[in-house]
Amino acid sequence: MKLAEIGEFGFIARVRQRAESCADLVLGIGDDCAASRPAPGELLLTSTDLLIEDVHFRRAWSDPRTLGRKSVSVNVSDVAAMGGKPASLYLGLGIPGGVAVEDLDAFADGVLEACAEYGAVLAGGDTCRSPGPWFISVTVQGRVPEGELLTRQGARPGDLLWVSGRLGDSALALRELLAGGRPAPALAARHLDPSARVALGRALAVQGLATAMIDVSDGLLADLGHILDSSVVGARVERDALPLSSLFRDALTAEPALLDLALAGGEDYELLFTSPPQCAAAVAALAADGVPVTQIGRILPQEDGLLLVDALGRPCPLPRRGFDHFS
């Protein structure tokens, strides 16, 4: 059966049946707006991401359920990066009429499964026909107690620079996919089904350990650049301290230039944050569930700029920074 046969409202009814409600959502899918009750003393966080077929994803690389999961995770990652907890998601879809309803159901299952894993609910959206590619626009709303909000501002010279998880796996998987290869499943999963680091972001916020934070979506150096610009500081990154998976290290042994993928590849969805040196032990203790936190450098005064150094402290050339849709 094709989407065109059940129509917009047929699809919405199927999504609505599957979506659950949660305590602070007064009204979910089914009316003109969702309604929720803001908790006193909390800030509402809102962020939108747009995923366009053949720009952000290829349908041949991912089953629809996994695509649904990723659509949620990349969006929730922005809430994690502010120290928040996701609450509700809104799903805008542009889909060609010829798509099989089973594929859309699987996509919605992935969306709802990921929402449930992050403790969020699907609270609304919009569904339109696309003349060609899939368009997926996800808006997330989350909460953070006032006073726990973490932004890109606030890093100070002397702070240590930390990153969660491992860098470069997603970009390495993408590179193999683009070359027509089949990346190892663990590597492919890092690109196709990333996890937002909500628990780590909350822990840093609750314990007051971070001075600035961002999620690594455009590449380590590009996103670090955003912290440096917003905080008006510089930084020194230790090349040999970058956390790399064993799969990535194997690839690196064969092709040393691949290190650029860890520095500038993007779509890692790890948390990059700064923290005062006296908090180092508390930060290191947050590593959990196979997600390490690694100190990769230090914040410097702004006039020092951004330095990448080798094990002997000698400056290394910086790779081209990150991804820009229009360059």
Q: Does 124 bind ligand ADP (CB under 6 A)?
A: yes
The residue behind tokens 């690594």 is 216
Q: Helix 169-178 and helix 246-254: axis angle, to 10°?
A: 60
Residue 97: closest CA among 132, 135, 58: 132
Q: Which of 45, 79, 91, 161 binds ligand ADP (CB under 6 A)?
A: 91
Q: Does 112 bind ligand ADP (CB under 6 A)?
A: no
The minimum distance between CB 105 and ligand ADP, in angstroms, equals 12
Residues 6+ apart with CB under 8 A from 293: 162, 163, 164, 200, 283, 284, 286, 287
Q: Which stretch binds ligand ADP (CB under 6 A): 122-130, 148-156, 195-203, 257-265?
A: 122-130
Taking CB under 5 A as the rule, which mask of x and - marks residues 126-165 in contact with Mg ion?
x---------------------------------------
The minimum distance between CB 80 and ligand ADP, in angstroms, equals 22
Q: Does 240 bind Mg ion (CB under 5 A)?
A: no
The number of residues making up the chain comes to 327
Cβ-contact 213, 151 below 8 angstroms: yes
The minimum distance between CB 120 and Mg ion, in angstroms, equals 21
Residue closer to ligand ADP, measured from CB, 122 or 161: 122
The minimum distance between CB 90 and ligand ADP, in angstroms, equals 7
Q: Helix 185-192 and helix 246-254: axis angle, to 10°?
A: 110
Count, residues near ligand ADP per rule CB under 6 A = 13
Residue 54 interacts, among ligand ADP, Mg ion, none and using kind-specific CB cut-offs from 5 to 8 Å, with none
Site for Mg ion in 40-59 (CB under 5 A): none
Residue closer to ligand ADP, measured from CB, 29 or 204: 29
Q: Which stretch binds Mg ion (CB under 5 A): 6-14, 91-99, 124-132, 226-234?
A: 124-132
Q: Which stretch binds ligand ADP (CB under 6 A): 28-36, 183-191, 294-302, 308-316?
A: 28-36
Q: Which of 3, 15, 220, 222 binds ligand ADP (CB under 6 A)?
A: 15
